Amino acid sequence: MTAMAELELTVTAASAETALIRTLHLRASGGTSLPPFSPGAHLQVSVPGLADPRCYSLVTFDATPGAFEAPAEYRLGVRLEADSSGGSRYMHGLVVGDRITVKGPKNDFPLHPASPGEGEIVLIAGGIGITPIAAMAAALQSANRPYMLHYSGRSADQLAFVDALRTLAGDRLHLHADDDAATRFDLGALLDRLSPTQHLYVCGPKGMIDALIEGAKARGWPTDRVHFELFASAAPQAGDQPFEVELAQSGKVLTVPADKTILEVMEAEGCDPMYDCKRGECGVCTATVIEGEPDHRDYFLSDAEKAGGKLIQICISRAKSARLVLDL
């Protein structure tokens, strides 16, 4: 995994944005300056009792010059998840004065550089996916770059940071609620009004991201103009079955149950595979398939690579065959 600076931060303020989303304001515990960050960046937060850190995007609505280069504080927005393994519950339990250990900032979801005559940049957020998208809006506003922002939630009362977003984006902001026919988000209609020359940025639920990827592809969008970040890691799907994985370099054979990933099983068996995002986006965990048929669930491999069946993202993809042999 990529090495990052370790920081100790103190919670200086906390507030509820919605019934499920809470904001935490963080400053360096020793009063030192905070490292700069870029829109789309996140922090890795160490959670007591959990082996892996939890990642939370840095949110800001500050469009003043230097806001990213010399931040006075970091701000996180955290949604309390019903099926949380402990990360969001821990974050929601923090109070003013508590200290946390983080690594970062790190950016796997960066904005593309400005270019002469660029078209309007399209920002799309669903639910808690607004956190990196809001930071992008602040950066674009600061740089006087053209953009629009569509923010969708299940209901209006589940949309966080609305007042701050209105102040930041003005009439560039479009709010949508699933339970309101008048404002319900119609992604297909939006894409029909846009041009494939425009950059699309989306962060939200898997269904929203999948719909945007497929919709943009059907309308001829180049893949390098479709940018996304999925907050959720691999989740079991209906019909998932156990399968075997043989690690060809050692001859070790592992059984991957329906509710675990290849990566998780390898770590449990003492292996040390390379990985980063655990969402099938970054490509760090790519492995070569020697035998067997992968069940691709990642966002990294091209359609041709998936059809070829010779590569797999072990953090999220599974097997259609009863056994895979990997060059690991």
- 234-237: list long-range contacts, CB under 8 Å, 24+ apart: 234/261, 234/278, 234/279, 234/280, 234/297, 234/315, 234/316
In this structure, the number of other CB atoms found within 10 A of the CB of residue 97 comes to 8
pLDDT at 2 over 60: no
Structural domains for the chain: 6-106 (2.40.30.10), 121-230 (3.40.50.80), 243-326 (3.10.20.30)
pLDDT in tens, 164-173: 999 999 999 9
Provide the 10 A C-beta neighbour count for residue 93: 11
pLDDT at 29: 85
| pLDDT band at residue 81 under the 50/70/90 scheme | confident
Query: Does residue 37 contact residue 71 with C-beta atoms inside 8 Å?
Result: yes
pLDDT band at 278 (very low <50, low <70, confident <90, very high): confident
- Cα–Cα distance between 127 and 175 in angstroms, integer? 11
Measured between alpha carbons, how far is 71 from 60 in angstroms, rounded to an integer? 10
Q: Is the pLDDT of residue 234 over 70?
A: no
Give the Cβ contact number of residue 289 at 10 Å.
19
At 44, phi and psi to the nearest 5? -95, 120
pLDDT category of residue 3 using cuts at 50, 70 and 90: low
Q: Please say if the pLDDT value at position 1 is more than 60.
A: no
Q: Which residues of 262-276 are buried (b: 16+ CB within 10 A; e: fewer)?
A: bbbbbbeeeeebebe
User: Of all residues in the chain, what percent carry a pLDDT higher than 70?
Assistant: 98
Q: Where are the alpha helices (DSSP H) in the chain?
A: 87-93, 130-142, 162-169, 187-193, 206-218, 262-268, 303-308
Mean pLDDT of the chain: 93
Q: What is the pLDDT of residues 16-59, one digit of tens each?
A: 999 999 999 999 987 788 999 999 999 999 999 988 899 999 99
Token pair, residue 163, equals 């007042």
Mean pLDDT (whole number) for 233-253: 86
Length of the chain: 328
Q: Is the Cβ–Cβ distance between 315 and 279 less than 8 Å?
A: yes
The pTM for the full model equals 0.84
Pair 279, 250: CB distance under 8 Å: no
CB-based burial label for 129 (10 Å; 0-12, 13-18, 19+): buried
Is residue 4 over pLDDT 80? no
Provide the percentage of residues in the chain whose pLDDT is more than 90.
79
Roughly how many angstroms between the first and final C-alpha of the chain, as a whole number? 17
Amino acid at 77: G
Q: What is the mean pLDDT of residues 71-95?
A: 91
Compute the distance between CA of residue 177 and CA of residue 185 in angstroms, rounded to an integer.
7
pLDDT category, 235, cuts 50, 70, 90? Answer: low
DSSP codes, 13-60:
EEEESSSSEEEEEEEETTSPPPPP--TT-EEEEP-TT-SS-EEEEB--
Q: How far is CA 251 from the centre of its chain?
A: 35
**Quick one: average pLDDT of 289-305?**
92
pLDDT digits (tens, 9 = 90+) for 151-207: 999 999 999 999 999 999 999 999 999 999 999 999 999 999 999 999 999 999 989
- Residue 44, CA distances (Å) to 26, 103, 137, 149, 282 in order: 13, 5, 22, 26, 16
pLDDT at 51: 84
Say whether pLDDT at 236 is over 90.
no
In the sheet that 226-230 helps form, which strands lie side by side, from edge to edge? 173-177, 147-153, 121-126, 200-204, 226-230
Q: Which of 131, 255, 249, 148 is nearest to 191 (CA)?
A: 148
> What pLDDT was estimated at residue 237?
79
pLDDT at 239: 83
The pair of structure tokens assigned to 272 is 């040390």
